[in-house]
Amino acid sequence: MDIPWDMTGRMVLATTLGAAIGLERELHGHPAGLRTHILVSLGAAIAALVSRQIMGSHGDPGRVAAQVVAGVGFLGAGAIIREGASIKGLTTAASIWTTAMIGLAVGVPGPTMSMGVVATVIVLLVLWWLHRLEAYIETRGFRSHTIEVQTASMDCAAAPIIACVEAHGATVQAMDIEHARKHAGRLLRLHVKTPGSAVHSALIASIAAVPGVHSVALD
């Protein structure tokens, strides 16, 4: 039996490229890491190679590629986790989808194999370098938070609380007021933007020191 070196080389390359992206995800502690990205890239490459053999020059390999795209979409959805108002896993889901496209690029005939290599380099730059850039921006930009303040009575005014927030360089975007469930006072829910360098513990302590404030929570 002759060894199909072209197919073997493409499968090895797809495995290597998937491993490179998966290793980056693994090092950052994401659930979909090395093995997942290897299997996604290799599986997509195999699908492209098999479709080429079955359909030859008369079939439509685009159908197989479309099915790979749809299938990987469901796989990527499993990496997305919602925790309260925040959503995690979108970057990992996108990396899984992109890894599948890289596998397809390696598996199909023609010059697209080099496209897969270039795409892998770009993905690694995005995941590694832009991650550092985002962290740098967050320390100097503004972050959105919700501060929940429970007052001991209905007489506690919101103005001193807002003044405390603004004194720490934060901005109140909106405020909701409702009756507190466990106390006779009110629940003030302030939607604020704080500087990345803000000391949240000092902000909370300042609000808690306002006369009439029962408790303060920051999410």
The 10s digit of each residue's pLDDT in 62-74 is 777 788 888 887 7
Per the CB < 8 A criterion, the answer to whether 65 and 52 are in contact is: no
* DSSP letter for each residue of 164-184: HHHHTT-EEEEEEEEE-SSSS
pLDDT of 60 strictly over 60: yes
Burial of 51 (0-12, 13-18, 19+ CB in 10 A): buried
pLDDT of residue 58: 60
When pLDDT is cut at 50, 70 and 90, the band that residue 202 belongs to is confident
| Tens of pLDDT, residues 6-53 | 888 999 999 999 999 999 888 877 777 889 899 999 999 998 888 877
According to the per-residue pLDDT averaged within each range, which of 4-13, 171-180, 193-202 is highest?
Answer: 4-13
**Range with the poorest average pLDDT among 135-139, 140-144, 168-172, 208-212:** 135-139
Q: Could you count the other beta carbons within 10 Å of the beta carbon of residue 96?
A: 26
Q: Are 199 and 167 in contact (CB under 8 A)?
A: no
Domain boundaries, the chain: 5-139, 142-218
Residue whose C-alpha is closest to residue 165's, from 197, 196, 206: 206
Average pLDDT, the chain: 81
Q: Do residues 147 and 218 lie in contact, with contact meaning Cβ atoms separated by under 8 Å?
A: yes
Convert the pLDDT of each residue in 97-128 to its tens digit.
999 999 999 988 777 888 999 999 999 998 88
The pLDDT value given to residue 86: 53
CATH class of residue range 142-218 = alpha beta
Q: What is the pLDDT of residue 61?
A: 64
